[in-house]
DNA sequence: ACAAAAGTGTTGTGTATACACCCATGG
DNA sequence: CCATGGGTGTATACACAACACTTTTGT
């Protein structure tokens, strides 16, 4: 075993998903350096031993650097590796899924022209194996979204149940969930709790606002 | 950013699980080198850029080196990282879950005295964060086992349905699954198919033998 | 009064659980 | 003919999807 055997490149890539104008969208940045300079890519960067306490810390840091924000929902996805996925050499990318309401990106985005939030149905060609990583993220959202409150990370709290249902429909790729079943499950499983306000700007009857009871809840039944 | 920032250690650790005498057990090897020399630890090793085509290839290789065998069921678990988990420095461990029937280990194990298969209820202290990695593996087995044929990787094909049910009971930590429901689900969801032989060595009525229809099947209902 | 959106009931269909029962084989 | 383990049927309770219906608000 020679010296080169220990020189793998270690990076983190984050799939930052949000819901923009009713469509699932992903945050991409123009790459500043080669390879693939100026091409749109997932938010990512090298792990820095000196400042990062874990790969998750790297994810938090690169998100802060590219969006100016912190406090995203963040979950490890999977790790991609091999000699060919990066032209610089044998590389490891620890991939993360991040979720955010669009309202948080609406402001700061304008300050950093490099960050673009692109609908997943209108993606440019992505460098490295970022297409695969994004596919894994969407599959996780669909899969885990069916039995957890994961999709709630895509909108602001508080929300109305109708709003939340629309988020689930988009996240799961299901055109129409049943209103009655959806509400019963969320309330009976104690996943949401009402806040003392109602939404008044919708035209019809004023809707009760809710928030999640405790972070991301996972349950055994499907939504 | 200085040069040390790119010098993370990249390793792979494999949680090799099997079913030994009715109990869940994990394959451990005595470490040959410091740190923690001679202590029992998960099967693992450095990623070697020159010979490994991916982290999964590293997992396959270290399994071959420690057990003399190939062809295990293998699935990526998660990646553990940080400055403190390994005294040698900032490290990344890509963890894998491997499953095997005990019969495969029974033979070659005796050839390599370093490999021990230890019941998970009688574990020694493990080095690094191997305790955490093992916990993640058991949780994956329990979680995914409830809606997939994952636990079948713990026994030989062909098997009787009673045998398979016992494996599920141990893997999921459930003392007693209902026989009728278990059988109905496996057959109605087309997960197993009968082979043309029956088990004759059980005392009572001869049992039909089955095998999995197509690798590890995942389904939406619980077992 | 009407439209629009929120929110609730009702009903048929299916699925799970628990349990009892029958079948085949060896001693 | 009894013990042992394999294999099947059923009844009750529960969960779900679909759909209709009622309620509240703005215009």
Q: Do B189 and B96 share a structural domain?
A: no
- pLDDT tens for residues A29-42? 999 998 999 999 99
Report the residue from A47, A76, A81 with minimal CB separation from B8.
A47
| Angle, CA A94 vertex, CA A88 and CA A98 arms, to 5° | 125
Q: Do B10 and A10 touch (CB under 8 A)?
A: yes
Report the residue from A2, A6, A49 with minimal CB separation from B4.
A49
Burial code (b: 16+ CB inside 10 Å, e: under 16) for B5-20 equals beebbbbbbbbbbbbb
Q: Do B98 and B55 share a structural domain?
A: yes
CA distance linking residue B42 with residue B58, whole number of Å: 14
Q: Do B83 and A53 touch (CB under 8 A)?
A: yes
Interface probe with A: pick from B33, B47, B54, most Cβ of A within 10 Å:
B54
Alpha-carbon Rg for chain A, nearest whole angstrom, is 19
Strand, helix or coil at B145? helix
Q: Do B49 and A94 touch (CB under 8 A)?
A: no
- pLDDT tens for residues A110-122? 456 679 999 999 9
Q: Do A47 and B90 touch (CB under 8 A)?
A: yes
Report how far Cα A215 is from the mean position of its chain's Cα atoms.
15
- pLDDT tens for residues A46-90? 999 999 999 999 999 999 999 989 999 999 999 999 999 999 999
pLDDT at B216: 79
Cβ atoms of residues A61 and A52 within 8 Å: yes
The burial of A69, by beta-carbon neighbours within 10 Å (0-12 exposed, 13-18 middle, 19 or more buried), is given as middle
pLDDT at B53: 97
Give Cβ neighbours of residue A99 (< 8 Å, ≥ 6 apart). A16, A17, A18, A72, A73, A141, A150, A153, A154
Token pair of B20 as six digits:
């030994």
Asked if residue B220 is part of any domain, the answer here is no
CA distance linking residue A182 with residue A7, whole number of Å: 50
Q: Do B158 and B60 share a structural domain?
A: no
Last residue of a domain, one of A88, A112, A145: A145
Mean pLDDT, chain A, rounded, equals 91
Round and report the angstrom distance from CA (A167) to C1' (C10).
Answer: 28
- Which residue lies nearest D10, CA-to-C1' measured? B180
Q: Do A108 and A20 share a structural domain?
A: yes
pLDDT band at B107 (very low <50, low <70, confident <90, very high): low
Residues of A in contact with B48 (CB under 8 A): 1, 5
Put simply, whether B136 touches A (Cβ < 8 Å) is: no
* Cα separations in angstroms, B11 against A116, B91, B99: 35, 8, 20
Asked if residue B223 is part of any domain, the answer here is no
* DSSP code for B148: B
Q: Do A175 and A109 share a structural domain?
A: no
Token pair of A58 as six digits:
């790297």
Round and report the angstrom distance from CA (B104) to C1' (D6).
Answer: 27
Q: Do B111 and B42 share a structural domain?
A: yes
Asked if residue A223 is part of any domain, the answer here is no
Q: A106: part of which helix (H) or strand (E)? A: helix A102-109
Phi, psi values for residue A122, rounded to 5°: -130, 50
Asked if residue A222 is part of any domain, the answer here is no
Asked if residue B221 is part of any domain, the answer here is no
In this predicted structure, the answer to whether residue B92 has a pLDDT above a threshold of 80 is yes
Last residue of a domain, one of B95, B128, B144: B144
pLDDT at B10: 97
Q: Do A103 and A76 share a structural domain?
A: yes
pLDDT band at A196 (very low <50, low <70, confident <90, very high): confident
CATH assignment of the domain containing A7: 3.90.79.10
State how beta strands B9-20 and B91-99 pair.
parallel
pLDDT at A217: 77
Tokens 């895509």 found at: A154
Question: What mean pLDDT is predicted for residues B213-222?
Answer: 78
Asked if residue B189 is part of any domain, the answer here is yes
pLDDT at A98: 98
Structural domain range at position B157: 150-212
Asked if residue A217 is part of any domain, the answer here is no
pLDDT band at A108 (very low <50, low <70, confident <90, very high): low
Alpha-carbon Rg for chain B, nearest whole angstrom, is 19
Q: Do B102 and B23 share a structural domain?
A: yes
CA distance linking residue A180 with residue B205, whole number of Å: 50
CA pseudo-torsion sign A126, A150, A160, A70: negative
CATH assignment of the domain containing A172: 1.10.10.10
Q: Do B154 and B129 share a structural domain?
A: no
- pLDDT tens for residues B150-187? 999 999 999 999 999 999 999 999 888 999 999 998 98
Put simply, whether A83 touches B (Cβ < 8 Å) is: yes
pLDDT band at B70 (very low <50, low <70, confident <90, very high): very high
Q: Do A25 and A126 share a structural domain?
A: yes
Give Cβ neighbours of residue A184 (< 8 Å, ≥ 6 apart). none
Angstroms from B123 CA to nearest CA on chain A: 27
CA neighbor of A78 nearest in space, from A122, A132, A40, A127 = A132
CA distance linking residue A10 with residue A46, whole number of Å: 6
Mean pLDDT, chain B, rounded, equals 90
Question: What mean pLDDT is predicted for residues A171-188?
Answer: 92
Q: Do A159 and A70 share a structural domain?
A: no
Q: Do B156 and B140 share a structural domain?
A: no
Cβ atoms of residues A81 and B54 within 8 Å: yes
- Which residue lies nearest C26, CA-to-C1' measured? B203
Give Cβ neighbours of residue A52 (< 8 Å, ≥ 6 apart). A58, A61
Cβ atoms of residues A8 and A91 within 8 Å: yes
Question: Which segment of A209-218, B54-63, B157-166 scores lowest on mean pLDDT?
Answer: A209-218
Last residue of a domain, one of A145, A180, A200: A145
Angstroms from A152 CA to nearest CA on chain B: 21
CA distance linking residue B63 with residue B44, whole number of Å: 8
Asked if residue B222 is part of any domain, the answer here is no
Please tell me the total count of domains within chain A: 2
CA distance linking residue B170 with residue B138, whole number of Å: 11
């Amino acid at each position: 075993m020679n010296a080169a055997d220990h020189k793998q490149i270690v990076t983190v890539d984050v799939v930052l998903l949000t819901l923009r104008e009713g469509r699932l969208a992903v945050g991409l940045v123009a790459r500043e350096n080669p390879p693939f300079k100026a091409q749109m890519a997932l938010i990512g960067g090298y792990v820095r031993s000196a400042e990062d306490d874990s790969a998750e810390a790297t994810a938090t840091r690169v998100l802060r650097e590219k969006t100016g924000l912190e406090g995203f929902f963040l979950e490890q996805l999977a790790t991609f590796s091999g000699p060919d996925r990066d032209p610089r050499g044998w590389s490891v990318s620890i991939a993360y899924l991040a979720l955010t309401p669009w309202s948080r990106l609406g402001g700061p985005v304008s300050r950093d022209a490099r960050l673009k939030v692109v609908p997943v149905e209108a993606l440019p060609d992505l460098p490295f194996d970022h297409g695969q990583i994004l596919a894994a993220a969407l599959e996780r959202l669909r899969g885990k979204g069916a039995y957890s409150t994961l999709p709630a990370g895509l909108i602001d709290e508080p929300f109305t149940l109708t709003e939340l249902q629309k988020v689930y429909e988009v996240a799961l790729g299901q055109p129409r969930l049943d209103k009655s079943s959806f509400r019963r499950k969320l309330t009976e499983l104690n996943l949401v709790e009402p806040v003392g306000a109602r939404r008044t700007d919708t035209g019809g009857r004023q809707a009760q606002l809710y928030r999640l009871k405790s972070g991301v809840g996972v349950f055994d039944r499907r939504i």
